[in-house]
Amino acid sequence: MVLTEFMQKTKDDRYFSKMEYFAKLCKGIYSTSPSFFRGSAGFLYTFYKIYKNFKLNKEFRIEVVKQIEQFYLDITNMILNGKIYDVNFDNHEKNFFGGKEGILTILDLVNKNSDNQKIFPFII
């Protein structure tokens, strides 16, 4: 997110292709499967920041918005009704915070495929 803010404020788009690549790797990560909370919050927040700050192609933007809306509806349902859609979900804190590992794995993959210009050199 630091890089996103940097690019937005400085109008420096050198890393745009890397950010778009990162977003495409995250695409489809959210679903209503039994483990839908695992990493979804982090990925969807990243999706949202990229959607707001970068000019992605129209089809990709529509897919991002659909995933964000689905995630929002699931979270709203959980807060208002005190439950989530997955009836077998009994340890949401573990799954929710487990998303950190997933995000770091994706960042590592992006960095390995970015030649010399690491997308987040100060993190990994």
What lies within 8 Å, CB to CB, of 101 at 6+ separation is: 39
pLDDT at 67: 64
Please state, in angstroms and rounded to a whole number, the distance separating the CA atoms of residues 72 and 58: 21
Q: Which residues of the chain have pLDDT under 50?
A: 1, 29-39, 84-103, 117-124
Please state, in angstroms and rounded to a whole number, the distance separating the CA atoms of residues 73 and 52: 19
Least Cα distance to 63 among 121, 24, 17 occurs for 24
pTM over 0.75: no
Residue 106: other Cβ atoms inside 10 A: 18
Give the domain ranges of the chain.
2-112
Q: Tokens 């998303």 map to which residue?
A: 99
pLDDT at 64: 64
